[in-house]
Amino acid sequence: MDNCIFCKIINQEIPSYKIYEDEKIYAFLDISQSTKGHTLIIPKEHVTDIFDYNEELASDVFARIPKIARSIEKAFPEMEGLNIINNNRELAYQTVFHSHIHLIPRYSKQDDFSIHFGNHQADYTTEEMTAIQEKIKEQVTFHG
């Protein structure tokens, strides 16, 4: 894609702090460094988000995550945890529309990074949960 910053990074038109590359993926330090070692993993094939992945691409990309995560952990033994985040579409905070996975090392509760999951369990009855379950299961079966 002509105006995609990640495609330009892959094509070496823009410099990056590359940490891993193979025929399918490219991994590099996120310029924002939310925490030390914050890494992005991107497919070399331009896909907008997870909804554009086929099974082969998903396997190629997601199979590399543990290797890169372990490398970050070995590089920074003081790391106490790791967030793996994939934002899809604008409402979900995707800002670069070339699919990417964030690996964000965590060092302490004061490292200026947080995620909050609201609890809406009381908002759904057993019947509503079952209806949601069935609706999704039907699509998995249909598209699987």
Spans of all domains in the chain: 5-138
Whole-number mean pLDDT of the chain? 95
Q: CA 68 to CA 53: how far, in whole Å? A: 20
User: Would you place residue 143 in the very low, low, confident or very high pLDDT band (cuts 50, 70, 90)?
Assistant: low
User: Would you place residue 114 in the very low, low, confident or very high pLDDT band (cuts 50, 70, 90)?
Assistant: confident
CATH topology of domain 5-138: HIT family, subunit A (3.30.428)
Contact 116, 22 (CB under 8 A): no
Reading the block at residue 30, the tokens are 């996120």
CA angle 8, 12, 18 (to 5 degrees): 105
Q: CA 45 to CA 7: how far, in whole Å? A: 8
pLDDT at 115 over 70: yes
Q: How does pLDDT run across 120-137, given as a tens digit for each residue?
A: 999 999 999 999 999 999
Q: What is the pTM of this model?
A: 0.92
Examine the residue annotation and report whether 100 is marked as an active-site residue of this protein.
Answer: yes
Catalytic residue among 46, 100, 116, 120: 100
Cβ-Cβ contacts under 8 Å for 121 (sequence gap 6 or more): none
pLDDT at 27 over 60: yes
